[in-house]
């Protein structure tokens, strides 16, 4: 594992969605407070490789270290993207791009943060989902998808996120979970972690979705105990477009997304604020949802 010392901050953001000019402008303005700041980018930078490269190049030129975990949008084989790779080949292409830029990926050794609040291993993860977060009354994936189609709330992953060479997205998910579990179990038993995944490791953050059927595309029950098993100081995620802090089993879960302009314009405070993970924000008695947030997310995201 790589280590680095300093007195900076471990910051996080996700769901930049820079295909929107307003969001691209937010990235252009993102800067660290000091030379030792690290930045976690928890997925959904953009849909095209060119946009992903621009954003990560911009951020990597400013922060001491950038860590990236892929979201579903990066994994789409989008008709507007000149890179037509699918599934694992697309993911590996993005890993290669990140390594070219010096950005830490889920395939790299987990760096250790030795700044304030450390030491902690900061582990970007790529786990996907397996349709185990089913709507109430549904017992199988097919039942859940039928219900979702009936409501009109179907994730675009069904059309654009290909699992090749795996038969299904849930097969790819299970393979990723098994390999990641092995790597996390090999970390020193006395070393706390910050786990970073595009999706929450536990289902509880999805309970505030306006459209609960969208939870099917939001994670896997296979990781429901990881926040306890792997000494998690903070679980960082995005995807839901509901930025907030929750606590589960005494562990902090931090949703750090920017979201779409139509969403962030409704929120108080400036958009695109980098969330501080270390040293922890709101340590003094903060055990609830961050103020000023509401329900969100659904449709065909």
- Token look-up 């779409």 returns 260
What does the alpha-carbon distance between residue 69 and residue 286 come to, in Å, rounded to a whole number? 27
Report which DSSP code applies to 290: P
> In the prediction, which pLDDT does 7 show?
77
Q: Which residues lie closer than 8 Å to 243 by C-beta, 6 or more apart?
A: 255, 256, 257, 258, 259, 267, 275, 290, 293
Nearest residue to 253 via CA among 228, 274, 273? 228
Residue of 36, 25, 38 whose CA lies nearest to 274: 38
pLDDT at 1: 46
Tell me the pLDDT of the chain (301 aa) as tens digits.
Answer: 444 445 799 999 999 999 999 999 999 999 999 999 999 999 999 999 999 999 999 999 999 999 999 999 999 999 999 999 999 999 999 999 999 999 999 999 999 999 999 999 999 999 999 999 999 999 999 999 999 999 999 999 999 999 999 999 999 999 999 999 999 999 999 999 999 999 999 999 999 999 999 999 999 999 999 999 999 999 999 999 999 999 999 999 999 999 999 999 999 888 999 999 999 865 433 333 332 333 454 444 5
% helix, strand, coil for the chain, step of 5:
30, 15, 55
Quote the pLDDT of residue 45: 98
pLDDT at 282: 55
Task: Supply φ then ψ for residue 197, to 5 degrees.
Answer: -145, 150
User: What's residue 301's pLDDT?
Assistant: 55
- Given a contact cutoff of 8 angstroms between Cβ atoms, the answer to whether 19 and 126 are in contact is no
26, 145, 204 from 257: Cα distances, Å: 13, 26, 17
Helix or strand run (H / E) with residue 12: strand 10-13
């Amino acid at each position: 594992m790589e280590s680095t010392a300093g007195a900076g901050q471990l910051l996080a953001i996700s769901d930049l969605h820079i295909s929107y000019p307003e969001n691209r402008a937010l990235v252009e303005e993102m800067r660290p407070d000091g030379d030792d700041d690290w930045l976690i980018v928890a997925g959904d930078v953009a849909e095209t490789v060119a946009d992903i490269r621009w954003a990560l190049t911009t951020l990597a030129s400013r922060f001491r270290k950038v860590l990236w975990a892929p979201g579903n949008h990066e994994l789409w084989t989008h008709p507007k993207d000149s890179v037509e790779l699918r599934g694992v080949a697309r993911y590996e292409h993005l890993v290669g791009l990140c390594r070219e830029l010096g950005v830490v990926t889920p395939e790299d050794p987990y760096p250790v943060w030795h700044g304030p609040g450390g030491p902690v291993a900061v582990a970007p993860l790529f786990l996907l989902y397996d349709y185990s977060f089913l709507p109430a009354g549904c017992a199988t994936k097919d039942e859940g998808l039928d219900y979702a189609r009936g409501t009109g709330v179907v994730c675009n992953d069904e059309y654009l996120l290909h699992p090749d060479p795996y038969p299904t997205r849930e097969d790819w998910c299970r393979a990723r979970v098994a390999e990641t579990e092995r790597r996390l179990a090999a970390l020193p038993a006395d070393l706390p972690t910050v786990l970073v995944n595009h999706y929450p490791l536990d289902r509880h953050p999805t309970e505030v979705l306006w459209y609960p059927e969208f939870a099917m595309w939001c994670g896997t029950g296979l990781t429901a105990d990881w926040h306890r098993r792997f000494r998690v100081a903070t679980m960082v995620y995005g995807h839901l477009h509901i930025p907030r802090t929750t606590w589960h089993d005494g562990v902090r879960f931090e949703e750090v997304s920017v979201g779409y302009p139509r969403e962030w314009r409704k929120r108080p405070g400036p958009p695109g604020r980098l969330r501080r993970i270390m040293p922890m924000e709101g340590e003094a008695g903060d055990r609830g949802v961050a103020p000023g947030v509401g329900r969100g997310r659904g449709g065909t995201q």
